[in-house]
Amino acid sequence: MIRAALIGALVLVVAGAHLAAGSDLALPRMVALFLGAEPLAFADVQFTHAALPRLVMALLCGAALGLAGSLFQQLTQNPLAAPLTLGAASGAWLALVVATLLFPALAAAHGEWVAFAGAATAFGLVVAISGLRGLTGMSAVLAGMAVNLLFGAIAATIVLLQSPYFGHLFIWGAGDLGQSGWDKGLWLALRLLPLLALSLLLTRGLALLRTGAEGAEARGLSLLPFLAVAAGLALGLTALAVAAVGLIGFIGLVAPNLARFAGARLPRAELLASMGLGAGLLLATDLLALFANHLTRDLVPSGAVAALVGAPALIWLMRRRLGVGDQAVFRLPPGPARVPRLAWLGLVLAGLAFTLAALTLGRTEDGWQALWPTALTFDLRWPRVLGAAAAGLAMALSGVVLQRLIRNPLASPDILGMTAGATVALVGTAIIGGGSIHEVGAGIAILGSLLVLLLLLGLGRRHGYAPTVLALTGIALAALLDALVKVALAAGSQDSYAILGWLGGSTYRVTEAEAGQLLLAALLGLGLVLVLRRWLTLLSAGDDMALARGLSLRLARPVCLTLAAALAALVTSWLGPVAFVGLLAPHAAVMLGARRVAAQALMAGGIGVVLMVGSDWLGRMALHPMQLPAGTVASVLGGSYFLYLLVRRRVL
């Protein structure tokens, strides 16, 4: 009772501050309007049709996300499970984006069902990748973030192709709680209240789950039907929140953990406390967004503020919950013991074929033509081809290093935050300085990536550099990047569209000098990986093995991480963020038989080259005369294939 009263009091205090920030009316007039007085002035109408509905929407969505997070965490017994980390939120978002483009009437009339289908698809992918048992550990979280990356890349591609006609998706995708009446709030309440009531009926089954799957079944619980119903309710709550206000992350992650921290031990108590804390957290987050709106001329989306607040909360939870031994064993994906000669030959031929196609094969007004380019066309094409090849090589090498260090085949520069750090530095410098993002420079990108590295090392030291600690730190920083970018896109200016195009990883602006410099850096990185192959082999075998063989972990780990961060930052500075190349190429190399570091680096580098050169050519030709960024095409193709491999092989 005391805990519930305290949560209720805190919510009331935040609600009062929220109304004060959203309206200029005096308190007596607010009370009068709340009790039914007739609005007489514009300020009265603004209070009754904007400020109050916004407050109610924040309470409803916060309660829904908090309850969804509690259901996910109690089902999986995983304190890091949430709509965001299990991919459900991004699945709902992508489904609504696609439906808005292809079936706008369906999206408008039945958006909640469209969002539910997307959330269920994304969650199903995560379950297929990690398995039901894997939902209790980090494999599900990393798989969920991989799904987030893929779905985010697809959604960004759609928005890029349709901009500026999809400008409203910038704000909606960033989480907008602004209201202009009570229609949306009533729509959400009528659908949300039955789900809330049904969720509270699951408390006995959730209590039995705490005894384990076998213990729950022994006590009469029909396990699979119960899991399906509970997961369906969590997905439905997530879909309703996304359909109502867009993407708002971390509320479903933080609220249940705070509920347990506050003393909620029984399932029903945790569900109710998570609802109350979720409502209060989102209301407080929206209050910060309102303050930011007063200080700036541009709209600051509530979802972006939630990420800026929630990412540090994720790091804090990680430091409290995770142990040193998490994911301590490196497991290579299945594959032959050695790379067949035919595979090496095929890789070389594929590289030559894609390079030749990128230079000579294209579409014109008269259809497809295969002609050796003129001098002018050749001068325009070869820097793009060389830049794409160098980027693919560098990102693949960065992925090889990180997968060996983190001892997890889902590690990559984009998941661990290396690319995020470089992107945050570049975008932040361009926005604050007012210049073009293409003119910021590689030094700023490397600085941002190294700052992420310092945070990784700082947090990792306390936990003995547990792979889970490093991975989740990168995930949190990637969320910070996403929040910052959405703030920029929500402004709707021409700079926003320029940043959006750059975020796709385009080779369009790569000059001859930049392509040559990037190739030189990538080749230098390849040489360093080959020189450090013994270090990487020992690090991937475990800290005890490395120490027993005389390796200095204090020297080896920072050096290797610095190399990975620098390679990712250089690519980001010249092309923009490139996702999934550093994830897919090392994994595919091992599946082809490259199980030693040297062979994996060479094979992964070749795969990265082929993937990026092919993506650059396909991006130029697929929708001629429109062009797609190479990084976006690589993310969609590589991410789709990578998820297919994970579903088929269950490498985690």
Query: Among candidates 271, 318, 281, 275, which has minimal Cα distance to 303?
Result: 281
Q: Is the pLDDT of residue 61 over 90?
A: yes
Which pLDDT belongs to residue 648?
67
Query: At a CB cut-off of 8 Å and minimum separation 6, what does 6 contact?
Result: none
What is the distance between the alpha carbons of residues 632 and 625, in angstroms, rounded to a whole number?
A: 17
- One-letter amino acid of 527: G
pLDDT digits (tens, 9 = 90+) for 487-516: 665 555 555 666 666 777 778 778 888 899
Question: Rounded to an integer, what is the distance from CA 408 to the centroid of its chain?
Answer: 18
Most confident of 76-85, 298-307, 637-646: 76-85
Which pLDDT belongs to residue 652?
45
Residue 34 CB neighbour total at 10 angstroms:
12
Q: Is the pLDDT of residue 325 over 60?
A: no
Which pLDDT belongs to residue 113?
94
Burial 47-65 (b: 16+ CB within 10 A, else e): bbebbbbbbbbbbbbbbbb
Q: Is the pLDDT of residue 345 over 90?
A: yes
Which pLDDT belongs to residue 393?
96
What is the distance between the alpha carbons of residues 98 and 199, in angstroms, rounded to a whole number?
A: 29
Q: Predicted confidence band at 161 (pLDDT cuts at 50, 70, 90)? A: low
Residue 433 CB neighbour total at 10 angstroms:
12
Which pair of tokens denotes residue 552?
A: 């200095």
Contact 267, 206 (CB under 8 A): yes
Handedness of CA 425, 152, 97, 235 (dihedral sign): negative
pLDDT digits (tens, 9 = 90+) for 63-72: 999 999 999 9
Q: Is the pLDDT of residue 398 over 90?
A: yes
Which pair of tokens denotes residue 150?
A: 């893929």
Which pLDDT belongs to residue 513?
87
Q: Predicted confidence band at 329 (pLDDT cuts at 50, 70, 90)? A: very low
Global pTM value: 0.81
Which pair of tokens denotes residue 569?
A: 């930052």
- One-letter amino acid of 373: P
| Average confidence score pLDDT of the chain | 82
Which pLDDT belongs to residue 397?
96
Poorest-confidence range of 313-327, 359-373, 493-507, 621-635? 313-327
Which pLDDT belongs to residue 164?
53
Query: Which H or E run includes 367?
Result: strand 367-370
Q: Predicted confidence band at 85 (pLDDT cuts at 50, 70, 90)? A: confident
Q: Predicted confidence band at 21 (pLDDT cuts at 50, 70, 90)? A: confident
Contact 456, 416 (CB under 8 A): yes
Q: Is the pLDDT of residue 112 over 50?
A: yes
Question: Rounded to an integer, what is the distance from CA 292 to the centroid of its chain?
Answer: 24
- Taking residues 239-244, report their average pLDDT: 93
What is the distance between the alpha carbons of residues 508 and 69, in angstroms, rounded to a whole number?
A: 42
Q: Is the pLDDT of residue 554 over 60?
A: yes
Which pLDDT belongs to residue 177?
85
Which pLDDT belongs to residue 327?
46
Which pLDDT belongs to residue 470?
66
Which pLDDT belongs to residue 24?
82
Poorest-confidence range of 11-20, 114-123, 208-217? 208-217
- Taking residues 16-36, report their average pLDDT: 85
Q: Is the pLDDT of residue 226 over 80?
A: yes
Q: Is the pLDDT of residue 55 over 90?
A: yes
Which pLDDT belongs to residue 500?
65
Contact 23, 43 (CB under 8 A): yes
- Count of alpha carbons within 13 Å of 112, Cβ hemisphere only? 16
Query: At a CB cut-off of 8 Å and minimum separation 6, what does 549 contact?
Result: 538
Q: What is the DSSP string of 151-178?
A: HHHHHHHHHHHHTTTTHHHHHHHT----
What is the distance between the alpha carbons of residues 599 and 387, in angstroms, rounded to a whole number?
A: 23
Three-state secondary-structure class, residue 368: strand
- Taking residues 389-397, report their average pLDDT: 95
> Which ranges in 23-51 belong to alpha helices (H)?
27-34, 42-46
Higher pLDDT among residues 307 and 333, named by residue: 307
What percent of the chain is predicted at pLDDT more than 90? 26
pLDDT digits (tens, 9 = 90+) for 274-306: 999 999 999 998 888 888 777 666 667 777 788
Burial class (CB in 10 A: 0-12, 13-18, 19+), 90: buried
Query: Among candidates 172, 561, 512, which has minimal Cα distance to 398?
Result: 561
Q: Is the pLDDT of residue 557 over 70?
A: yes
Strand partners, 362: 369
pLDDT digits (tens, 9 = 90+) for 456-472: 777 767 666 565 566 66
Which pair of tokens denotes residue 541?
A: 């075998």
Query: Among candidates 276, 285, 280, which has minimal Cα distance to 306?
Result: 285
Higher pLDDT among residues 649 and 623, named by residue: 623
pLDDT digits (tens, 9 = 90+) for 510-547: 888 889 999 999 999 999 999 999 999 888 887 778 88
Which pLDDT belongs to residue 71?
94
Higher pLDDT among residues 179 and 55, named by residue: 55
Poorest-confidence range of 173-182, 499-508, 593-602? 499-508
Which pLDDT belongs to residue 328?
45
Higher pLDDT among residues 266 and 324, named by residue: 266
- Count of alpha carbons within 13 Å of 554, Cβ hemisphere only? 0
Strand partners, 367: 364
- Taking residues 555-579, report their average pLDDT: 87
- Taking residues 371-375, report their average pLDDT: 78
Torsion of CA 78, 116, 130, 469, to 10 degrees: -50
Q: In the 8-state DSSP scheme, what is residue 491?
A: T
Q: Is the pLDDT of residue 330 over 50?
A: no
- Taking residues 239-260, report their average pLDDT: 88
